């Protein structure tokens, strides 16, 4: 069983969240909150509130720049996020750029971010990564497998192809060219690997 969701940023423009949620197909959504140490997505506050008003399970993510201090990035994300509401989904860390660093250094800094955010929000964050980045840049890091895995894999099929060392996935971003009422441009589509009850249970308490 999988549950349909989306993830968005300011690139999707103005979103009519009531239309997105109306067909009852999309059950959850993630919005980009922050990037690096000082970049805030200009649509985050509007998107995050709109998701809640539309009755969607909602989460937030941070685009990681390994060249900057992990502690500063975590603090920036938490400041943008604010105090999570009960039921908000765990934060996600987006790993897709190396910042000129080697794999072990990226992993070490990512772990700092994940640990700092986990302590603050009291739930286990999620790691987003493509199979190529996971394997060829990060070096299939076993240290990151203790966190839930969000795989970006756009190949056709009923399930993603997991990279070496990853036993399972929690979320699957399966296309960047989704079309939904309420969003005028292509949107990233995702699936949660489990039931709606399991998805709800991941939320902050």
Catalytic positions, please? 7, 96
* Contact in structure between 187 and 6 (CB atoms under 8 Å): yes
Helix (DSSP H) and strand (DSSP E) numbers for the chain: 6, 9
Short-list 117, 95, 114, 116, CA closest to 106? 95
Beta-sheet pairing, 57-63 with 92-94:
parallel
* Contact in structure between 87 and 54 (CB atoms under 8 Å): no
* Contact in structure between 58 and 28 (CB atoms under 8 Å): yes
Beta-sheet pairing, 57-63 with 126-129:
unpaired
């Amino acid at each position: 069983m999988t549950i349909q969701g989306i993830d968005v940023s300011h690139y999707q423009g103005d979103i009519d969240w009531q239309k997105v949620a109306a067909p009852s197909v999309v059950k959850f959504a993630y919005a980009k909150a922050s990037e690096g140490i000082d970049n805030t997505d200009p649509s985050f506050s509007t998107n995050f509130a709109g998701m809640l008003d539309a009755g969607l399970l909602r989460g937030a993510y941070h685009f990681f720049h390994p060249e900057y201090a992990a502690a500063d990035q975590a603090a920036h994300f938490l400041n943008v996020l604010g105090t999570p509401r009960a039921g908000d989904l765990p934060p996600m860390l987006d790993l897709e750029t190396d910042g000129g660093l080697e794999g072990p250094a990226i992993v070490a800094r990512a772990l700092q971010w994940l640990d700092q955010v986990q302590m603050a929000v009291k739930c286990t964050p999620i790691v987003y990564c493509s199979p190529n980045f996971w394997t060829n840049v990060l070096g299939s890091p076993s240290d990151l497998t203790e966190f839930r895995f969000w795989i970006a894999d756009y190949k056709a099929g009923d399930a993603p192809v997991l990279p070496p060392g990853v036993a399972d996935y929690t979320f699957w971003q399966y296309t960047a060219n989704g079309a939904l009422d309420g969003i005028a441009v292509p949107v990233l589509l995702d699936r949660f690997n489990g039931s709606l009850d399991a998805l709800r249970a991941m939320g902050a308490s």
